[in-house]
């Protein structure tokens, strides 16, 4: 390749890399905030869950797994859907959680990832975010607590 072209190639690639990194940073901020809101909701309904909350902040393991998911969305559905996915999580993270139904709603998820589409589930499975989350919930004790019908009844009460 002509050496004089390299600066142009680098100028083209660097903004894309920065943009992908910025999207991952936004996802991290939003999911951490969403997790804190989710934990606050659980504790508001069942105060004894306070000591069973997992750490909501990201570490390198969850960052790598989440990057895998985000890259998979972009590869399979396109950059605009990946951006809409992050924007949807950011939107949800700004809301106070007041019910379990609200947690299960997917109103902010882009249409391309809703319904019968299994993209998110398949990516979270193959990228290990589901496994990492399950382990952290088990280690914190929240997993077992959530299996208790009395606790779930208090969380589900409207």
The string of DSSP letters for 59-75 reads: -HHHHHHHHHHHHHHHH
pTM score, whole prediction: 0.81
The pLDDT value given to residue 106 = 61
Domain boundaries, the chain: 3-156
Q: pLDDT tens for residues 131-148?
A: 999 999 999 999 999 999
Least confident of 64-68, 109-113, 125-129: 109-113
Q: In angstroms, rounded to a whole number, what is the distance separating the alpha carbons of residues 38 and 47? A: 13
Percent of the residues in the chain that have a pLDDT greater than 70, as a whole number: 86
Q: Region 43-64: what's the mean pLDDT?
A: 95
CA–CA separation, 36 vs 90, rounded Å? 13
Give the residue, 26 or 101, on which the prediction is more confident: 26
Helix or strand or coil: residue 95?
coil
């Amino acid at each position: 390749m002509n050496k004089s072209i390299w600066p142009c190639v680098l100028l083209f690639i660097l903004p894309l890399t920065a943009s992908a990194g910025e999207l991952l940073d936004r996802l991290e901020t939003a999911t951490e905030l969403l997790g804190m809101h989710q934990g606050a909701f659980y504790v508001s309904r069942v105060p004894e869950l306070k000591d069973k909350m997992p750490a909501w902040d990201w570490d390198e393991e969850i960052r790598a797994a989440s990057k895998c998911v985000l890259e998979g969305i972009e590869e399979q559905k396109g950059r605009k859907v990946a951006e809409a996915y992050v924007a949807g999580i950011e939107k949800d993270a700004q809301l106070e959680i007041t019910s379990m139904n609200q947690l299960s709603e997917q109103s902010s998820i882009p249409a391309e990832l809703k319904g019968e589409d299994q993209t998110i589930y398949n990516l979270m499975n193959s990228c290990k975010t589901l496994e990492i989350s399950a382990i952290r919930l088990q280690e914190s004790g929240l997993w077992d607590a959530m299996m208790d019908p009395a606790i779930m009844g208090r969380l589900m009460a409207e």
